[in-house]
Structure 1
Amino acid sequence: MSGLELHVDRPATPRIVAGADALQRLGEVLPATPAPILLIVDAGLVAAGMAERLEVALPPGRPVTRRICPAGEPTLASVNDAVASARRLDHAVIVGLGGGSALDSAKLVASLAASALPAEDFVLGRNVPPARWPAVMIPTTSGTGSEVTHTAIVSDQAGQKLWAWAPDMAPDSVILDPTLTTSVPTDMIVGTGLDAFVHALEAMTGQSRQAFTEAYGLEATRRARGALASYRHDPHDLHAAADMQLAATLAGLAIDGGGTGMAHAIGHALGSLYHVPHGIAVTLGLRASLAWSIEADPGRYQPAAAAFGLPGGTAADLAEAFDGWLSELAFDAVAARSLPASMSAGALHAELAAEPNRPMIQNNARPAADADLAWLARQVVAA
């Protein structure tokens, strides 16, 4: 992987520098200005010394201000606080270091710092900012693909998950360094890796699919299927870690063009109600909905089945094969450590039908009526 560089020649796609120790090339991707750096970083990474490692890779004399992300996913309040810090720096370069929450926070800050908007006036497609500050994203988990997408997820005061989008929210550059992912706990490896797979599958089978999203999704599926078990057993296997990292980024590119579907709608509902970690939540959503979605249009899932490694690419067997993969990854044990003691199918149905989830439901491979949502909610709770 050393020295690999990927670049798609269109302004909406970030420059991607990938490979072992790619972090050392941080100076190459920063704008050639004396602007200060606002580093938005997970608290755990500061404790692990990764913030210092990043700062050592900066050009000498470049001023850096750290903004530590609160635990959990970004909230409207935490984003507004970070934006206020950014505006005091005056045209800083925003660098996000961490998992999906830190990267979503960093993208929101870069978009909102150039405007007078608070975060609550930016969600659900409202008041899209006209520009953003320069930004570089550096993921330390392999799953969300947030480093390359034009969307971000943020929770309101009540805990409901909301989405934000802007035409230039994706950063200028991304650094994929697998050595930054070797200390990720096993449960997180499983959850984030499955999140990447769900992204790939939903993007290449949804209503907005097209040739490019399918190409990204198929390659992401192949890499995730081959790498996740090895990476789970040995996070220091840099080949598997790099493959999983590329799978997550490719899946992020896929959802940026093709969107997500029912599994993500269910996942967001579970996150809003019970704060289930995102990768676990969308995997539960896919397990409940995959056979139901395939039933309406098996041909739509045929390429995905082949990429998953099924003999003959049999779409009808994909849901069963997915369940078998979850068993191999000990997913139920991982999920059990994150799930509440009980869940309400009625509450899940109501949250699933809420406005923020409609775009995902409408983009799903199989259209859903309200009765379908109620049935799917019962499937999740009964599993």
Structure 2
Amino acid sequence: MVLIPNLLSDVGRSVGLSTVMRVAGLVTRLLPIPQPTMLVGPGSSARLGHAVAGFGHQKILIVTDRVISGLGLLDGLTRALTEGGTAFCVFDEITPDAPIPQIEKGIEIFKTEGCDAIVAFGGGSAMDAAKAIGLSVTNHKHPRRLVGYFRGFHAPVPIYAVPTTAGTGSEVTVAAVISDPENNKKLVIADSRLVPKMAALDPELMTGLPPDITAATGMDALTHAIEAFIGHWSTSFTDRMALAAVGMIYDNLRVVYKNGKDLTARENMALASNYAGLAFTRANVGNVHAIAHQLGGKYHTPHGLANAIMLPHVLRFYGPCIHDKLAVLAVRAKVGAAGEPVDVLAQKFLESIDALSRDLGIPRQLDALRKADIPALAKAACWEADTNYPVPRYMSVETCEELIRAVLPKAASRKKSTGQASTRNAG
């Protein structure tokens, strides 16, 4: 990444990277990506338990967290497994970002308990941990050795999914994002065989989510849909999924933020997250995610929150090259009308994201961010985007630093401005 500007002009660099990504996109379109059998609606987690019990597994490892197990959200699933005569054990030690030491423990429990399948029950961290465990045990490889694309020779054990948030779409995606606490980094394991065999979207499990988590996860799903739609790998299928997701999020996210007990809106948000997952698992994401991953790895910022904070800044950086796409999104989000000028619609959509964030209490700054960390964060984000994502416009490290600086806590920003003024006056 550092050497590229020395070899190419900015224009040449962008053209070169874009060409590589377009070729990669053609390959991706041909890659078979399975879709899980979906069970949707209240009580679907119990129905999934009955289905899994009929598959003849000897013992199921349920991967979740202690909040979920403590609230009794597993009861419908576990009761169904027991009724079906299927043994299970619960590993409920997953914490945000799915740290490698927890995955290592999950692998050990899977082996010692004699399990042969996994049910991931929870948010994105539980899903990612379950995928990493399932791929590691069949390939006899440490999770670190599976980081990257298709690093496992064997398919994972059968994985089933019950998401309890409407944001990640992990029940339909090919990736597992885990964290390396030793190096403060997030690592991605990608393999089309990581897609769960079956998943349940049960809105009853989501009614107790606090408003702030509802907001952050909903904005995560919105970011997935937008980045999939504006990137160079989009297809007619991913566009349909992304547009459906955006429309449903705009119709329902404010509703569930204010009234978490609304089952219809919760189910619609779960479907929107699912559709966004289907879109980005093939069309991929972009610079918002590249930056958010660094913020999550460094400061353990919740992924959805990091996406929500950075989304408007990155979209404005892209500028006119995505205005036609933003215009379509504006009409689907019902913040503009068909027939209005493209630039007007694009601006309306950008303003609607700002308004949605305000209504959901999304902060404009990231309190954990430190000015001294920004160069390294920007460098890592650009490397991730350049080598993985079909972004509509490539950014330099310097530009990325500016975008990240825009979300510095106010005290740090004021200090920076004062320092700049003193320097100018001294000169």
- TM-score, with structure 2 as normaliser: 0.82
Q: Which residue of 2 aligns with 1:329?
A: 360
Q: Which residue of 1 aligns with 2:28?
A: none
> What is the rounded CA distance, in whole Å, between the counterparts of 1:237 and 1:181 in structure 2?
10
Distance 1:30 1:200, change over 3 A: farther
What are the residue-to-residue correspondences of 1:7-86 with 2, within 5 Å?
A: 12-26=34-48, 27-29=50-52, 32-58=55-81, 59-86=83-110
Q: CA deviation at 1:92?
A: 1.3
Q: Is residue 402 of structure 2 the alignment partner of residue 375 of structure 1?
A: yes
Q: CA deviation at 1:292?
A: 1.4
Q: CA deviation at 1:193?
A: 0.6
> What is the rounded CA distance, in whole Å, between the counterparts of 1:328 and 1:169 in structure 2?
36
Q: CA deviation at 1:255?
A: 0.9
SS class of match (1:69): coil
Q: CA deviation at 1:305?
A: 1.9
SS class of match (1:101): helix
Which of 270, 292, 312 lines up with 2:337 in the alignment?
Answer: 312
Instruction: Spell out, residue by residue over 1:161-195, the C-alpha distance to the aligned partner (whole angstroms, 9 max, x if none).
Output: 11110120011001011001011111100000110
Q: Which residue of 2 aligns with 1:228?
A: 253
Is contact 2:46-2:76 (8 Å) kept?
Answer: no
SS class of match (2:195): coil
What are the residue-to-residue correspondences of 1:174-193 with 2, within 5 Å?
A: 174-193=199-218
What are the residue-to-residue correspondences of 1:141-152 with 2, within 5 Å?
A: 141-152=165-176
Q: Which moved more, 1:100-109 or 1:348-357?
A: 348-357
SS class of match (1:299): helix
Point out where structure 2 has 5 or more consecutive residues left out of the alignment. Answer: 1-31, 339-344, 411-427
Distance 1:60 1:361, change over 3 A: closer
Q: CA deviation at 1:128?
A: 2.9
Q: CA deviation at 1:126?
A: 6.5
Which of 114, 124, 133 lines up with 2:138 in the alignment?
Answer: 114
What amino acid is the match of 1:317?
A: K
> What is the rounded CA distance, in whole Å, between the counterparts of 1:382 and 1:42 in structure 2?
31
> What is the rounded CA distance, in whole Å, between the counterparts of 2:333 and 2:387 in structure 1?
23
> What is the rounded CA distance, in whole Å, between the counterparts of 1:362 and 1:115 in structure 2?
27
What amino acid is the match of 2:406?
A: Q
Decide which structure has greater helix share. 2
Is contact 1:112-1:129 (8 Å) kept?
Answer: no
Instruction: Spell out, residue by residue over 1:61-94, the C-alpha distance to the aligned partner (whole angstroms, 9 max, x if none).
Output: 2111111133222112211221122133445110
> What is the rounded CA distance, in whole Å, between the counterparts of 2:152 and 2:173 in structure 1?
15
SS class of match (1:152): strand
> What is the rounded CA distance, in whole Å, between the counterparts of 1:72 and 1:362 in structure 2?
24
Which of 125, 134, 155 lines up with 1:101 in the alignment?
Answer: 125
SS class of match (1:95): strand
What amino acid is the match of 2:394?
A: P
> What is the rounded CA distance, in whole Å, between the counterparts of 1:16 and 1:239 in structure 2?
17
Q: CA deviation at 1:343?
A: 2.4
Distance 1:291 1:105, change over 3 A: same
Q: Is residue 220 of structure 2 the alignment partner of residue 198 of structure 1?
A: no
> What is the rounded CA distance, in whole Å, between the counterparts of 1:34 and 1:284 in structure 2?
43
Which of 269, 291, 310 lines up with 1:285 in the alignment?
Answer: 310
Is contact 2:53-2:80 (8 Å) kept?
Answer: no
Q: Which residue of 1 aligns with 2:378?
A: 352
Distance 1:131 1:359, change over 3 A: farther
Q: CA deviation at 1:377?
A: 1.9
Distance 1:341 1:166, change over 3 A: closer
> What is the rounded CA distance, in whole Å, between the counterparts of 1:185 and 1:113 in structure 2?
35
Distance 1:223 1:360, change over 3 A: farther
Distance 1:44 1:111, change over 3 A: same
Is contact 1:23-1:57 (8 Å) kept?
Answer: no
Is contact 1:269-1:348 (8 Å) kept?
Answer: no
Instruction: Spell out, residue by residue over 1:186-206, the C-alpha distance to the aligned partner (whole angstroms, 9 max, x if none).
Output: 110000011000110001111
Is contact 1:294-1:301 (8 Å) kept?
Answer: no
SS class of match (1:55): helix
What amino acid is the match of 1:21?
A: G
Distance 1:267 1:368, change over 3 A: same
Q: CA deviation at 1:53?
A: 2.9
SS class of match (1:297): helix
> What is the rounded CA distance, in whole Å, between the counterparts of 1:30 and 1:221 in structure 2?
35
> What is the rounded CA distance, in whole Å, between the counterparts of 2:100 and 2:65 in structure 1?
17
How many pairs align? 369
SS class of match (2:63): strand
What are the residue-to-residue correspondences of 1:263-274 with 2, within 5 Å?
A: 263-274=288-299
Which of 87, 97, 119 lines up with 2:111 in the alignment?
Answer: 87
> What is the rounded CA distance, in whole Å, between the counterparts of 2:324 and 2:33 in structure 1?
33
Q: CA deviation at 1:358?
A: 2.9
What amino acid is the match of 2:39?
A: V
Is contact 1:298-1:315 (8 Å) kept?
Answer: yes
Is contact 1:197-1:224 (8 Å) kept?
Answer: yes
> What is the rounded CA distance, in whole Å, between the counterparts of 1:317 and 1:179 in structure 2?
34
Q: CA deviation at 1:243?
A: 0.5
Q: Which residue of 2 aligns with 1:5?
A: none
Percent of residue pairs bearing the same amino acid type? 27
SS class of match (1:311): coil
